[in-house]
A = this chain, B = another copy of it.
Amino acid sequence: MTVDMSVKVGNLELRNPVMTASGTFASGREFAEFVDLSHLGAIVTKGVSLNAWSGNASPRIAETSSGMLNSIGLQNPGVEAFIERDLAYLADVDVPVVVNVSGHSLAEYVALVERLDDHPQVNAFEINISCPNVDAGGMAFGTSCVPAAQITEACRAATMKPLIVKLSPNVTDIVEIALAVEAAGADAVSLINTLLGMAIDADTFKPKLARVVGGLSGPAIKPVALRMVWQVSNAVSVPVIGMGGIMTAEDAVEFMLAGASAVSVGTANFVDPTATMRVADGLSEFCRARGIARVSELTGALNTD
């Protein structure tokens, strides 16, 4: 039996539901020795901004129980360098490309989307309104409905391409934010970004991150991510891209059962550079073994009675 692994996220057609989580896969080149990039559902690029950002001071990561903190702070060389280096590289790779965009202001988001909109390598945008690691903008936009909707609306006006809005888990009610960005024109929502956390070195009395706080990712956050994907997918009608601690195919299945149409593999890429393929192959095998003809049947198939 061959399993139909294709899924649709709005207008975006993916070979399989396994995408890369922004910031954990660069633009793919670094992983090309480990996985066949053209076998991915999509590459979601690292976050790009209009101008170059230098990110935060080091140390920028800390390991925690079943997780890690990062405070990279969206270091990137700006959109022009991104076009020259990353998109040029991706031109030769047969894979849908989702560009993750960030800004310090609404105007920056819009300028960025406009600059990238007619670029043929860009198949969709993921609007990052949930980065906990930048001072201006970032998560602040993603933790209340009004700015979240404003940014979505403005980006929506700037592109006809599929628009994914990436939500922050650091909120009282993620459903409210999801509904706001859906109403403002998002074609899909992706969640979750990292949980704001902190680590301390008891030996030195110092925070482990130079920035003190950072974003928690990895298996530790999977229960929170699953809960939010379930809540959001029950409330919105646009597709949900689920992520947060996916390490195995079973993890991906769980996110799909909770309501995700596609999933992203993040931190797992650091532990195992072949993780995306391992998850995609395992997902197909999972369906095959159970006689599930189309992987998309898993979406929302959670049995709650």
A residues lining the B interface (CB < 8 Å): 64-67, 69, 143-144, 170-172, 195-200, 202, 204-207, 212-213, 216, 218-224, 226-227, 230, 245, 250, 253-254, 257-258, 286, 301-304
Q: Note all chain B residues with C-beta closer than 8 A to A258.
A: 198, 200
A69 touches B223 (CB 8 A): yes
Instruction: Judge whether A196 and B254 touch: CB under 8 Å.
Output: no
Inside 8 A of A303's CB, which chain B residues have their CB? Answer: 204-206
Whose C-beta in chain B lies nearest to the C-beta of A132? B227
A250 contact set on B, CB distance < 8 A: 202
Complex Cα distance, B218 from A220, in Å, reads 10
Majority SS of interface residues in chain A? Answer: mixed
- A301 contacts across to B, CB distance below 8 A: 205
16 contacts between A and B (CB under 8 A): A64-B222, A65-B218, A171-B171, A196-B224, A197-B223, A198-B258, A199-B223, A200-B226, A202-B250, A202-B254, A205-B301, A206-B302, A206-B303, A207-B304, A219-B220, A220-B220
A202 contact set on B, CB distance < 8 A:
250, 253-254, 257, 286
Q: How far is the CA of A226 from the CA of B212 in the complex (A)?
A: 11
CB < 8 Å neighbour of A216 from B197, B213, B223: B223
Residue on B nearest A207 in the bound complex, by CB: B304
State the CA gap A219–B253 with chains docked (Å): 25
Smallest CB separation, A166 vs chain B (Å): 16
A254 to B65, CA, bound (A): 14
CA distance A97 to B18 in the complex (A): 51
Among B172, B196, B197, B198, the residue within 8 A (CB) of A144 is B172
A245 partner residues in chain B, CB cutoff 8 A: 65
Most buried by B among A206, A212, A224: A224
Contact B224 A195 (CB under 8 A): yes
Q: Which of B69, B172, B216, B230 contacts A172 (CB 8 A)?
A: B172
- Whether A67 contacts B220 in the complex (CB less than 8 A), given A205-B301, A254-B200, comes out as yes
Known: A200-B257, A223-B199, A253-B202. A212 touches B304 (CB 8 A): yes
Nearest B residue to A298 via CB reads: B205
Closest to A226 in B: B198
CA distance A160 to B253 in the complex (A): 53
Name A254's closest neighbour in chain B (CB-CB). Answer: B200
Q: For residue A302, which residues in chain B have a CB less than 8 angstroms away from its CB?
A: 200, 205-207
Q: Distance (Å) between the CB of A128 and the closest chain B CB? A: 18
Residues of B within 8 A of A213 (CB): 227, 230
Output the least CB separation between A83 and chain B (Å): 35
B66, A66: Cβ atoms closer than 8 Å: yes
A156–B198 Cα gap in the complex (Å)?
32
Residues of B within 8 A of A171 (CB): 171-172
In the complex the two chains form, is B224's CB within 8 Å of A216's CB? Answer: yes
